Amino acid sequence: MAIGERIHFFRTKRGMTQKYVGGQIGFDEKSADVRMAQYEKETRVPKDNLIKALADIFDVNPEALKVPDIDSYVGLMHTLFTLEDRYGLKIEKAEDGQPRLYLDLKHFPDSSQLYDMMMDWMDKAEALESKQITQDEYDQWRYHYPVVGQTTHTHFAKVIP
């Protein structure tokens, strides 16, 4: 999710208008909503000081607004949080105490296509684990994903690469 989508997400989650947020930042009252719309539509990209101000208004970490940097653990965590918000990715404790991620299709039925894609991934990972395929075959599958016709799950045929 890009920064404009994140700004829109947190603004609407907090029940704030574009005019209100723009006013809180210090934009001119006449153009506050227009300026915020530009940031949400990404015709303008906020600089770090504006991201910090928006984060303060929304009461979130600035990293929650930024396009995640998955080269850091904090960035990766915010990517997972975004997936939770957008696709219903949930976390729970597995029987062995380890964290386990899953899709909450009950509350996010639109994620069924992602679910099927993750099932494809799980099938390939299990095939690798059981040595039915090699690491090279697994990597070949991942790096060329998606390949129409190489799946057993229902929604895949509808995916446009």
DSSP line for 85-125: HHH-EEEEE-TTS-EEEEE-TTT-GGGHHHHHHHHHHHHHH
Give me the pLDDT at residue 150, please.
66
Cβ-count burial of 4 within 10 angstroms (0-12 exposed, 13-18 middle, 19+ buried)? buried
Task: Judge whether residue 48 has pLDDT over 80.
Answer: yes
- The residue with greater pLDDT, 112 or 47, is 47
Which of 37-41, 65-69, 125-129, 156-160 has the least mean pLDDT?
A: 156-160
pTM: 0.65
Domain boundaries, the chain: 3-66, 109-158
Predicted confidence (pLDDT) at residue 25 exceeds the cutoff of 90: yes
Cα gap 73→147, rounded to integer Å:
30
Please give the pLDDT value at position 156.
45
In 10 A of CB 136, how many CB atoms?
8
Q: How many other C-beta atoms can be found within 10 angstroms of the C-beta atom of residue 72? A: 11
CA dihedral (100, 101, 106, 108) in degrees, to 10, reads: 170
Average pLDDT over residues 104-109: 90
- Measured CA to CA, the distance from residue 135 to residue 120 in angstroms comes to 16
Given a cut of 60, whether residue 161 has pLDDT beyond it is no
Model confidence at 158: pLDDT above 70: no
User: Residue with structure tokens 């386990």?
Assistant: 100
Count of residues making up the chain: 161
Instruction: Check residues 151 and 49 and name the one with the higher pLDDT.
Output: 49
State the pLDDT at residue 147.
73
**3-66 to CATH, choices 3.40.50.2000, 1.10.260.40, 3.40.1390.10, 2.40.420.20:** 1.10.260.40
